[in-house]
Structure 1
Amino acid sequence: MKQYIVDAFTKEPFKGNSAAVCVMDAWPTKEFMMKLAAENNLSETAYIVKEEQGYHLRWFTPGAEIELCGHATLASAFVILNFYDTDAKEVHFHTMSGELIVRRKGESFELDFPTYELKELPVTDAMEAAFGVRPIKAVLGLDLVCVFENEEDVRNMNPDQVTFNKD
């Protein structure tokens, strides 16, 4: 295994958005990936395994595996295109969110993000109970997103996750 620390969105060291990128010959256990991500203590650690067509990519925070991470995908592409497949113009990642393609654009990289259908939901009393303030709008994609009246409402809320998870 080789591990790289990459600062996405910048050319300057110690700026941008850092991610660890681990290039593996085969998948370690999920427990290993969780422990290494926790030890790295960065917002995300990316794990890559070469496949016949492209690469399989997974992302972990210090506490969980996640479905999608843009900056860690760009960091992974930087590693692959600069140290492994240096003649390639793009890299294909197979992920929990589907196929992600990163293209080299001069000295930069371009990522095609997947799109998800969003569905507006009715605001419920359970949402208000969970947040302590009533949202003015609720939208469901991969996650639930609630919109609130103003910044003060957001700053003052004390979400009750237990209440929210009941409904």
Structure 2
Amino acid sequence: MQQIDFYMVDAFTDTTFGGNAAAVCPLTEWLPDETLLAMTRQHNQSETAFFITTDSGFELRWFTTQGEVNLCGHATLATAHVIFEYLNYPETTIEFTTRFVGPLTVTRNGDWLTLDFPATRSEAVEPPQFLLESLGIVEYQEVRLGRTYTVVLASQQQVEAVKPDFQLMLKLNQKVCITAPAEIEGYDFVSRFFSPAAAITEDPVTGSTHTMLIPYWAERLGKTQMLARQVSQRGGDLRCQLVGDRVLIAGQATTYLVGKVLLRS
């Protein structure tokens, strides 16, 4: 029987039951992909992060219940939280090697952890069939396509009021983000994120989508440092900064559960 440490962490929040929960499992070596996927399905979280320690840092992979994904912000934040809090890591910056997006770093400054991710650009497009219908909206400012479809709305109130038709959204075969200027004092923009094709109807807080939102709002607002709020039911805060072709996304994290996974062959 193999024992694997298991952590469940709420990312982009400083309170329990806020932000976005991720499972994190340190490994001594990579297990077969089918085992990693089976573990992820058993955990039944939006993402499980698996990592191993190397001479140069850490190798990191992310899985949903549907399979491996190329980038996940909140699970990266959760992994860094585990390394800093439970592995006696002495430095202030963690270097991750990933399979799809190259090297990533997470830096600790007090209670805040800052992700250094590649920025993702987007371009204005005509809304495809089913997009606006699945969101139940008629009025919008623009639709953009990058990592996801992004529908820009006029107000935070509009973003919060959207009640998607997820069955109709499945026909898009694409993830969907909606965003608008923030109406909360001190915040710059808000968003929500939907991914029914990946078995995630609404994601509570989505770091990877902010790699696209940050360049967009930086240009629109004429500023490079912003505070964002994902206005899902759980909600979460993200300190955002555009630095050239990189984005810095900072958040807090809190541990919900520590345990053991027992693998029997």
With the shorter chain as reference, the TM-score category is 0.7 to 0.9
Higher relative contact order (CA 8 A, sep 6+): 2
Percent identical: 34
Q: Which residue of the partner structure matches residue 55 of structure 1?
A: 58
Aligned pairs for 1:1-167 (under 5 A) are: 1-95=4-98, 96-123=100-127, 127-129=128-130, 132=133, 137-147=142-152, 155=163, 157=165, 159=168, 161-162=170-171, 164=172
| TM-score (structure 1 length as normaliser) | 0.77
Q: Is the 8 A contact 1:135 1:147 kept in 2?
A: no
| TM-score (structure 2 length as normaliser) | 0.52
Q: Say which one has the larger Rg.
A: 1
Aligned length: 161
1:58-93 CA distances to partner (integer Å, 9 max, x unpaired)? 111222222222221111001112232521111011
Tell me the SS of whatever aligns to 1:112: strand
Q: Is the 8 A contact 1:81 1:90 kept in 2?
A: no
Can you give the 5+ residue segments of structure 2 that lack an aligned partner in the other structure?
Answer: 174-265
In 2 relative to 1, CA 118–11 (structure 1 residues): closer, same or farther, beyond 3 Å? closer
Deviation at 1:128, TM superposition (A): 1.9
Deviation at 1:20, TM superposition (A): 1.0
Separation in 1 of the partners of 2:66 and 2:19?
A: 22
Can you give the 5+ residue segments of structure 1 that lack an aligned partner in the other structure?
Answer: none
Higher strand share: 2
Deviation at 1:130, TM superposition (A): 6.4
Separation in 2 of the partners of 1:153 and 1:108?
A: 30
